[in-house]
Amino acid sequence: MKKTLTAFSAACALLAASTAWANDKVVMGTNWLAQGGHGGFYQAVADGTYEKYGLDVEISPGGPQVNNRPMLSAGRLDFLMAGNLLLSFDNVRNGIPTTVIAALYQKDPQALMAHKGQYTDFEALKEAPTVLVSKDGQFSFWEWMVQSNGFRNEQLRPYGYNLAQFLADDKMVQQAYGTAEPIYAVEQGAEVDVFLLADNGWNTYAATIETRQQLIDENPELVQRFVDATIEGWVNFLYGDRAPAYQAIMAANPEMTVEKLDKEVAQLQALEIIDSGDALEMGIGAMSEERIKAFHDLAVSSGIIEDGAVDLSKVATSQFVNKGRGLDLKAKLTGN
């Protein structure tokens, strides 16, 4: 009997030890195919940062045939890299129990792009004969541009995600994602000016991280570890050796090259998309209730959403960010 108990005790100890060392499996979805704008996630996987935090993270890329948004509320994903706050407002308005837990981009990369030297500033774009805007853009930032900035619907033409029209007309202006179309235009021989909407009042966060409210309620410690590790991954990607992330991104998306990734990262840094604003003092991912409300009010005044349709208390929580996570690591990597 004593031998049986001893063997049983040893087996329990072994099981406990293996359980203690097992990493928590989580699945994180992105909003598109692997690219430089997802670099911090791939960095944290590739350089072992997630593992250091006790996480086994699988990245599930989005893409032209993949919509990861419903996968989060359905429980197929644990975390989602989303777009800007309008999508989060939509979730709350439709009773979808997901919550923003971090805002990786302090600035939305959404921009207008013009041929270099044709327009002196954002205000001058109001005089452009044609502005190409996608269908989604027409019902979001274009409404704000018309209501608050004096753009005219007579300027509006549909943008079909093809540069041919823009390249053929020096006076034409089109929407652009700051880390995409400007790079493609230069590759095709057109020098451009980029006017970031965020620098002209479009004050939404972007590249938000969402999770289910249920996970926050039931396992906030896991959520905190994921956020902390992700922030560290982004600091390493921006300021350290990003080669591990590059290899992982290129493996996930063979259309990516080191040259393309370098250009994307350079744009992220030049436009101060990630490490700017509150992130400089409170760490990457920082966000505030005041700014979320300010963007909500902008969306209401522009007619994008109805007043009273969104319970702002359900949009986001700052309990996992604003703690200065990653600032020491950044100082170490940059020497500042």
Cβ within 8 Å of residue 251, ≥6 positions away? none
For the record, the structure tokens of 292 come out as 């979320």
Distance CA 265, CA 36 (A): 6
Which helix (H) or strand (E) segment holds residue 100: the answer is: strand 98-105
| CA terminus-to-terminus distance, the chain | 65
**Model confidence pLDDT, tens digit, residues 71-99:** 999 999 999 999 999 999 999 999 999 99
Q: Candidates 1.10.540.10, 3.40.190.10, 3.30.70.370, 2.40.30.10; correct CATH number of 110-200?
A: 3.40.190.10
**Model confidence pLDDT, tens digit, residues 235-272:** 999 999 999 999 999 999 999 999 999 999 999 999 99
**Model confidence pLDDT, tens digit, residues 269-323:** 999 999 999 999 999 999 999 999 999 999 999 999 999 999 999 999 999 999 9
DSSP per residue, 223-271: HHHHHHHHHHHHHHHHHS--HHHHHHHHHH-TT--HHHHHHHHHHHHHT
Given a cut of 70, whether residue 203 has pLDDT beyond it is yes
Q: Could you tell me which of 195, 180, 181, 191 has the C-alpha nearest to residue 128?
A: 195
**Model confidence pLDDT, tens digit, residues 118-177:** 999 999 999 999 999 999 999 999 999 999 999 999 999 999 899 999 999 999 999 999
Given a cut of 90, whether residue 336 has pLDDT beyond it is no
Amino acid identity, position 72: L
State residue 63's pLDDT score. 86
pTM over 0.85? The answer is yes
Q: Where in the chain is the domain with CATH 3.40.190.10?
A: 23-107+204-334, 110-200
CATH superfamily of 23-107+204-334: Periplasmic binding protein-like II (3.40.190.10)
User: For residue 201, what pLDDT band results from cuts at 50, 70 and 90?
Assistant: very high
State residue 21's pLDDT score. 57
Which residue matches tokens 């709350």? 92
User: For residue 2, what pLDDT band results from cuts at 50, 70 and 90?
Assistant: very low
